[in-house]
Structure formats: C-alpha cells, structure tokens
Amino acid sequence: MKVFITGGAGFIGSHLSKALLDQGHDVLVLDDLSTGSMQNLEALQGREGFDYRIGCVTDVPLVTELVDRCDTTVHLAAAVGVRLIVEKPVHTIETNVRGTEVVLGAAAKKQKLVVIASTSEVYGKSKAVPFRETDDLTMGPTSHSRWAYACSKALDEWLGLAYYREKGVPVVICRFFNTVGPGQTGRYGMVLPTFARQALAGDPITVFGSGEQSRCFGHVQDTVEALIRLIQTPEAVGQVFNIGTDEEVTIRRLAERVKAAAGSSSEIVTIPYDEAYAEGFEDMLRRVPSADKLEATVGFRPRTPLETTIADVLEHERARLARA
C-alpha cells in the first residue's frame, strides 16, 4: 500500500513513516517544516519506497495530487504543542481547520481512506476518567486560547464524520493521548523531552502548577502500531478511537522518575502556570484514556511501561548530546 502522510516530518509522522517502510509499504510525506524537521526526514531519505515534498497542507492543487497518488492518507499536519497554541491562536485555528478541509476535499474526489489525527484535549475539563469516545466534551471558555486547539480539533472530527456520513468518504478519527518517545522536541512545551534534557544538563527540572496534574504517556511505537492496524481494519471506518496507555503519573512524580533514571542532581522547581504559559492558563488535571474500543477493534492496546519509555527518551537525548 502507498500511504500519504501529512506532517510526516514531525515526531509521530516520521516514526509512522519508518514503521510503514519497514513493513514494505510505500510512503509519501508532505511537511512544511514548521514544527517538523529535515533531520527526521534524513533518516528516511534514500529508502526504497520513500518520497517527500516540502509544502503546505493548505495548498489545494498539491494536496489533491498527492492524495491521488496514494491509497490512504494519514493527516497529521497540525499546529501542535500547548505553548504554540497559547502564543499563536490564529495560526492554530486556521492551520488545523483549513488543512483538514483540504485533505478531506481531495480524498472525497476518489473516496480514499483518510485517518485524521485528533487529540485527547477534546475531552477538555472533563473529570470522568477514563475518557471514552462517546463521552461529552467539556471545553473551557473562548477567552482562554488553550481551548482553541481542542475546538479546532473537535471541528476536524465533525468535518471528518460529516464527510463519512454525507459523502461516503472512509474516515477514521484518532484521539492521541500524550505521545512521547525518542526524537520528540521539547521546543513546543512537551514535558518528557523537556525534563530529560533538563535532567541530563543538570538544569532545574521545571514542574508547572502544583505538579499534582497527571497524564498517561504512551510510547510512540505503540501509537504507530495502533495507527497501522486502524488503516488495515475496515470496521474502523466512520469511528473515533482513543490511542493511549492508562498508566497514569503525576507531573511531579514524572520529574522525580526522570531525575532518578538519569542519575541527575538537578533540582526540581515549581513554576506557576501564569509564568509558564499565560495569565489565567487552565490545565487539565487528569487525562486517562479508555483504550477498550481500540483493543476490541484492532486487537491491540498501548502497553509499553513508562519506565521503558523514559529510558528510551533518555538514551536518545544522551546520544544527541554526545553528537553535539
């Protein structure tokens, strides 16, 4: 099969590209390198069946041509990372909504399968963990930029499901929970690569808020496995799936575990949200997925223990430091 991956030079996209190539599939990547990087593509260049274009997911003729050349599209291109969302809300909303419109419009011409990346952020402030795909979404007010990301992704979901129901386009929606692993940049605020770099450098490890907020960190390898299975499962079409692990950890405990695993003497410091992000920033206190539907549909759920994931990230960061 030939898979078109928008945002293929990003963290998840480049891991997905590699896994598909390893399984003998062809991959065509489109990325504007806004948050993705050439470095992620370098490892794939020269591999048989791999090709890429640098360009924007809102470029209608380009996207139409690339969707047409492939069997399936995985639409990962988006404005991501909480820091970016808070700093550039216009860019976030426009990129996320317009990009998905363009991809779905192109796929509709020939009824091609599209997998749309959504996010656990759409559950918003809900406290009803574990989150299930049929749960209500509890967004915050429009005065807080953070929720622009969740709403833009929720609109992508509505649009994807509307194309499925009204136009018969095969669409699968994936809600990614915190996905981490080797190669993720901390530049856009992601916590695990940030803690790993701070711990290895001996710098203060910056816990935002009380540190009592918790997350479930899934290994990117598991995310990619789930995605590839979903692409190959016809029953997944027209449905929404959580992709994540249910091993929950508070951010303070994560800082302690990264520090210990790195053998670091870094101090763990607490920074108020207002200072870390923006005045009045609202965080999600808990975010735990139910992966029951995913497992029932594709026979797999993310299970890599956090200990292994932390070790993988630290190993990657140590190698990066050694190269630098």
Q: What is the 3-state secondary structure (H, E, C) of the chain?
A: CEEEEECCCCHHHHHHHHHHHHCCCEEEEEECCCCCCHHHHHCCCCCCCEEEEECCCCCHHHHHHHHHHCCEEEECCCCCCHHHHHHCHHHHHHHHHHHHHHHHHHHHHHCCEEEEEEEHHHHECCCCCCECCCCCCECCCCCCCHHHHHHHHHHHHHHHHHHHHHHCCCEEEEEECCEECCCCCCCCCCHHHHHHHHHHHCCCEEEECCCCCEEECEEHHHHHHHHHHHHCCHHHCCCEEEECCCCEEEHHHHHHHHHHHHCCCCCEEEECHHHHCCCCCCCCCCCCECCHHHHHHHCCCCCCCHHHHHHHHHHHHHHHHHHC
Q: Binding of ligand UDP at residue 200 (CB under 6 A)?
A: no
Residues 278-307 that bind ligand UDP (CB under 6 A): 283
Tracing tokens 């091609």 back to the chain, one arrives at 112
149 is catalytic: yes
| Binding of residue 191 to ligand UDP (CB under 6 A) | yes
State the minimum distance, in angstroms, from the CB of residue 201 to ligand UDP.
13
Contact call for residue 196 and ligand UDP (CB under 6 A):
no
The residue annotated as part of the active site, out of 52, 123, 149, 163, is: 149
- C-beta of 44 vs 289, nearer to ligand UDP: 289
Decide: is 207 part of the binding site for ligand UDP (CB under 6 A).
yes
Report 227-256 residues binding ligand UDP (CB under 6 A).
251
Question: Could you tell me the smallest distance in angstroms from the CB atom of residue 172 to ligand UDP?
Answer: 22
Q: Which position among 82, 114, 159, 196 is part of the footprint of ligand UDP (CB under 6 A)?
A: 82
Which of the ranges 59-67, 92-100, 136-144, 185-193 carries the binding residues for ligand UDP, by CB under 6 A? 185-193
Check residue 64 for interaction with ligand UDP (CB under 6 A): no
Find the part of the chain contacting ligand UDP (CB under 6 A) among 8-16, 93-101, 200-208, 232-240: 200-208
For residue 213, the minimal CB distance to ligand UDP (Å) is 4
Asked if 29 interacts with ligand UDP (CB under 6 A), we say no
Name which position in 123, 131, 208, 241 contacts ligand UDP (CB under 6 A).
208
Residues that bind ligand UDP in the complex, under the rule CB under 6 A:
82, 178, 189-191, 194, 206-209, 213, 215, 251, 283
Q: Which residues are catalytic?
A: 149
